[in-house]
Amino acid sequence: MCDSSFYYLKIIIRKNYNILRNNKIDINQMIFNIIY
């Protein structure tokens, strides 16, 4: 995965981190779903 894609992925995680925590969604699972 190129650096730019990882950079945008981190932005997505940062924007949705609170929502993910509130919904008790596993962030690692989310990343896995995005990559694969």
Domain ranges across the chain:
3-35
Distance CA 15, CA 1 (A): 21
- Report, as an integer, the average pLDDT of 13-21: 74
Torsion angle of the four alpha carbons 26, 32, 16, 10, in this order, in degrees rounded to the nearest 10? 130
Q: Which has the closest alpha carbon to 19: 35, 9, 30, 6?
A: 30
- Within 13 A of 7's CA, how many CA atoms are on the CB side? 3
- Report, as an integer, the average pLDDT of 9-36: 73
- Give the per-residue pLDDT at 32: 77
pLDDT greater at residue 6 or residue 21: 6
pLDDT score of 20 more than 70: no
DSSP 3-state of 3:
helix
